[in-house]
Amino acid sequence: MKIKHLLIGILLLSPLSLSAQEIALQLYSLRNEMKVDPVKYHEMIAEWGISALEGGGGYGMSDAEYQKLLADNNLKIVGVGADYNRLKTDPAGIIADAKKYGAKYATCYWIPHAEGPISMEEMKAATDLFNQTGELLAKEGITLTYHPHGYEFQNSGQGTPMDYMLANAKYFQFNMDVFWVKMGGGDPLAIMKAHPGKFPQLHLKDRKIGTPGSPDGRGDVETNVVLGTGDIDIAGLIQEAKKQGTKYLVIEDESSRSVAQIPQSVAFIKKELEK
């Protein structure tokens, strides 16, 4: 009887454990502030109720000093950067960076290509590289993810480069920046629904209503607004993330107002997660 009750309890609790999300912050949001006083702003992040970070730069501190700063503020690096050219030449170095912090994710944020939309040939080459290096990283317990940046959505008549990558990603997943997907003409929520399970991380970033799109991955960062106040269905994305078990809801606010906007965005995510 006790075993039966235990099994029932596990079944009842398992959906909650599978769908738990954690709010994270991409430290690029505070790139200017960290140049001035990294100690102050790490303390501020903790005060906002955030403990998970994407970053890992160290801000001029020794490894020991930076690890202490993180520990003192109950912060952890959960994702590091994976530069495209470094993936080609030094995947072992990326693995070492991740392991230094105990990070389980490494994200490539940009594929070098000629100015403008990326070509299908360039996207195929990137997909091959990500599959090759993603397999290496996976053996070390690290998931390689790609961060779409808006230049992947030019339709060639046979679909977009983004369609190709999503269909052929075997050993890597995605850290979808919903702002840049929207800027490029994609529908982040529709993409997420069409490819469930491929998005362990989301960069949640809302866009000022009336902002024109851009096919080249460039745009005015001052159009980043508080989550829930722009023209991206952030609430819908959060609910889909709950369904799919997305691990990290990563706030990235590139605007000059990030210090004021981030705590408001944290409050919005928390409200949506409670629904």
Q: Which two tokens stand for residue 20?
A: 């738990």
Q: In the 8-state DSSP scheme, what is residue 221? A: G
CATH tag, 24-273: 3.20.20.150
Angle value at C-alpha 183, between 178 and 185, nearest 5 degrees: 100
Alpha helices, DSSP H, located in the chain: 2-19, 31-36, 38-47, 63-72, 84-89, 91-101, 120-139, 161-168, 178-183, 188-194, 234-244, 258-273
Task: Look up residue 207 and give its two tokens.
Answer: 């866009």
Tokens of 234: 């952030």
How buried is residue 208: exposed, middle or buried, by Cβ count under 10 Å (0-12/13-18/19+)?
Answer: middle
- Alpha-carbon distance 169 to 43, whole Å? 38
pTM for the full predicted model:
0.92
* pLDDT one digit per residue (tens) for the chain, 275 residues: 444 444 434 333 433 334 489 999 999 999 999 999 999 999 999 999 999 999 989 999 999 999 999 999 999 999 999 999 999 999 999 999 999 999 999 999 999 999 999 999 999 999 999 999 999 999 999 999 999 999 999 998 889 999 999 999 999 999 999 999 999 999 999 999 999 999 999 999 999 999 999 999 999 999 999 999 999 999 999 999 999 999 999 999 999 999 999 999 999 999 999 99
CB contact set of 62 (below 8 Å; sequence gap of 6+): none
Residues contacting residue 22 through CB under 8 Å, at least 6 positions apart: 51, 52, 78, 247, 248, 249
Q: Residue 249 and residue 25: Cα distance in Å, rounded?
A: 8
How far apart are the C-alpha atoms of 70 and 19, rounded to whole Å?
26
What single letter denotes the amino acid at residue 216?
D
Name the residue type at position 146.
Y
How long, in residues, is the chain? 275
